[in-house]
Chains A and B, each alone.
Chain A
């Protein structure tokens, strides 16, 4: 996606917490990356911000934008 795309809401299909990041992401870990099923839309991969302990399969997320080429979401509720 080369332009800012409004994805709306989605559900976490699965996720992980990256604790050993690749180059360039070291200062950010631990962080959550998830496969997200967009409501009435495709499955995408993106970062999810929010408390680690609240992350789980099935949780609702909201698209917040694109950053450095990656889709960013936040936990809803």
Chain B
């Protein structure tokens, strides 16, 4: 399996990796405040489960996972929750996002925790649960929750596990130094992964040939384990997921497909270390190795950094010279972004804090027009046509951008790096992707609005139709009653034509017509005998009530000898009569 394939494109920027590996991984004093953003990864943000003022222990869950693609957050050190509010986070927008702030007490006391050593005898499902509960998300790239990645489902059997130790971006040495010092634990983590994935046929550690010490450190640990360390020539960006899979297996991932669709799972080497800590030591992901480098810091070095440590704390302990460097970049020089302020916290994906001097990474020169030299197309590792994408992005031709596979762009920055006109190409692609995504969302929203509007219209129309039908029924009933009367008059019969007509009415008069019509309407309304009975029963009940009240009043009036006696007794009589009538009607109906 030592054969490797060569990806298209790629560039060779100055590596600048030696500066930060002269010293071993350092430990920083615990910062006074830790700020933990609730969303550090792709997927739903975690939900806080602590209150302000609550004291927390190191490793305690402070925010729970929300839904499937989400991970919990843990307190990186012991202390008191001092704020749950919006804070600046490491995001190119410079916007605020919900964070939990912990004021540390310096004791750094752990919550009770326990790992398991015989992971071989534990079901993969349980292991995946442990990984999820430990809050582990990918530590190399976008930070996808690892538990989701490790659960590809039965229909997608995994035959290759790839461990990404490429670290192709200049300056960054976090993975390199971690391998040098923690190779044993990393290999242990890979074995756990192998158990979770039901022992895939191939387990490959992909590493570039610019890390000989790391390769040497891994060698004794992988011996006899079936894990092979595959070394390939250094080129940027070999560490992209799709690129690495191609380099190691020759499999090209189709556009829009996930590695699991091809039977591959790709995990960052830093993540394997975190998985080992989670399963065997029972420790959640609360710290990571972060490189602090660049000419503006006097002591470039890797630190085992607590998640939530403010960047300013790291810079302070690295003797950052603000005069020498204008900006602080999170990530490397190719894919990183300038931080809006040094107060933002380190998150689970922060592998590097780069503080370059002005001379090292000068400000961008003004962009010149595209001369169609085609160097970007040669550098593109995804075999796209960057200059075409650039034109279409400028013209905002979204259809063409998608036809030219804009979404396969991994935003590695190789095209911008080689561009002789200094055009910030990647920025165009990012903007275009954002616009297309927004347009898609709006489309979904407008389709939804259309459905609702159509439903609304349909409902109004239906209500209108029902009203119209009722009106028609009434009209018909009136006409029917009129016709009945007319027939009765013609026959010269004085008897009531329908039972609803009151006795003694004069059929010829127009007033009687109207009354008859009203009665017919009432009859039409109350067609069913059950309804009628129910109504009559209600009437009886209320009449009885009234009668009782009237009698009471009468008794009162008699006792007090007021002038209302006659009036009240008449009312009582009236009510009683009505009650009798209703009762007899009910009896009639019952027959």
Is B a genuine binding partner of A?
A: no
Q: Which residues of A does B touch, CB under 8 Å?
A: none
Q: Which residues of B does A touch, CB under 8 Å?
A: none
